[in-house]
Amino acid sequence: MVNREQRILQVLHSGGFSELTFLQKSIIPLALDGQNIIAETGVNAGKIVSYIISSIIYLDDSDPGLKVLVIVPSVEDVKKVSEQYALFCREGAEKVSVVSFLEENNTKGELAVLEKKPDILISTPDKIIDHIRLGNFDTDSILTCIVDCGDDQYNGFSNDIEFIHSAFSVLTRFWVFTKDREMIPIFHHLLIDPEIIYSNRGIKSSTSESQEEKMEFSADQESKYAELIKKMVKNIREEEDANEMNQFKKLVKRNVPFTMRGYFSAYLFKNLVTNTKTGHAPSQNRADKEYKTLFFNIGRTRGLNPQALLRFIAASAEIDNSEIGQIKMHDNYSFVDVAEPSVQKVLDTLNSKVYRGRTLAVNFAKKSAEAPKA
């Protein structure tokens, strides 16, 4: 069985290339680790090949069906990217199905293409938006969305990408490629903890450069969790019934995509150790605090999750995470419990602040079950 480095070279050679470029060496490992990426490509060579190799390997062992979208500004870009993918799939070298939307006003033909369950679709944003509005995409099944801004993107391209992004699960990975450094902040607000690659420095800069704090375990937490994991692994090996475990294993395999199984395990473990559905552990001294519920006019459609919102609030208002209690997140709005001493500070700091492309409206939640109008 080949390891990841060998597999990368295998795919590279199937496309007729011999060595990875500087950009490809930066992009591919991050992509295969399941990161959100924004890459300023500059004049570096190998942009298209970097995401072709990444997407092909990312699909290894995945179930049939549309898993990757490649979005480019123009029909000419669709043709160019399609030709590059064809190099890797010639004579069955890489067994992935790649299709593209090229013709105008051909919704019926495009539906026929989608019914064949291709692995990868290359298209301009307008056609993707049409099919999203018509309900022709199962957006929850898309693992990766690749946005190649090309050389000449049209006015409104980033707005179209923002609309497309809002239709996807927070678990969909976005890999964004742009020649223009000024475009980085525009895409940055859409993505959770993106890795940013700058062409002239070759360094990766994560969201830690922004106001959001990246969640990290303390040394004590990491040691505690590591011991628990070791104990669980030991129990699996020595105490669990193998037949029963295989039944659960088959159930997971049938219902969780291959590339999502690591996240699935992490999610189960997180809920085990935090015993909460809010995405973060409740404060140990919560019972000693009075909380007020605040309404935020932002939710999942902005690619947000409770943990990201918690970090953003705490970092922006300069309060401790323990000051934030339960977070109930919906598609377009969220309810956040904030400890009484910090409520006014959160209101003053965050109301009217721009976050992920949206001007926040933050106020006291109504007592009724109905959400305030955003």
Q: With 80 as the cut, is the pLDDT of residue 371 above it?
A: no
The owner of tokens 């159930």 is 251
For residue 336, the 8-state DSSP code is E
- 39 and 176 in contact (C-beta within 8 Å)? yes
Q: In the numeric block, which tokens belong to residue 177?
A: 């490629």
Q: Let me know if 57 is exposed, middle or buried by CB neighbors in 10 A (0-12, 13-18, 19+).
A: middle
Confidence tier at 92 by pLDDT (50, 70, 90): low
Q: What is the pLDDT of residues 316-366, one digit of tens each?
A: 898 988 899 889 988 889 999 999 989 999 999 999 988 877 889 999 988
For residue 260, the 8-state DSSP code is G
- 143 and 69 in contact (C-beta within 8 Å)? no
The residues pairing with 291 across neighbouring beta strands, listed in sequence order, are 339
CATH class entry, domain 4-209: alpha beta
CATH number of 286-364: 3.30.70.330
Of residues 63 and 247, more confidence is placed in 247
H/E element holding 8? helix 4-14
Residue 81 C-alpha from the chain's centroid: 22
Q: With 90 as the cut, is the pLDDT of residue 287 above it?
A: no
Sequence ranges of the chain with CATH classification 3.40.50.300 = 4-209
For residue 211, the 8-state DSSP code is S
* Residue 100 exposure: Cα atoms within 13 Å on the Cβ side: 21
Of residues 98 and 286, more confidence is placed in 98
- 306 and 274 in contact (C-beta within 8 Å)? no
Q: In the numeric block, which tokens belong to residue 254?
A: 């049938």
**CA angle, residues 192, 230, 61, in degrees to nearest 5:** 55
What's the CA gap between 318 and 211, in Å, rounded?
10
Q: With 70 as the cut, is the pLDDT of residue 73 above it?
A: yes
Q: What is the pLDDT of residues 124-141, one digit of tens each?
A: 999 999 998 888 887 878
Q: With 60 as the cut, is the pLDDT of residue 277 above it?
A: no
Sequence ranges of the chain with CATH classification 3.30.70.330 = 286-364
Q: With 70 as the cut, is the pLDDT of residue 275 above it?
A: no
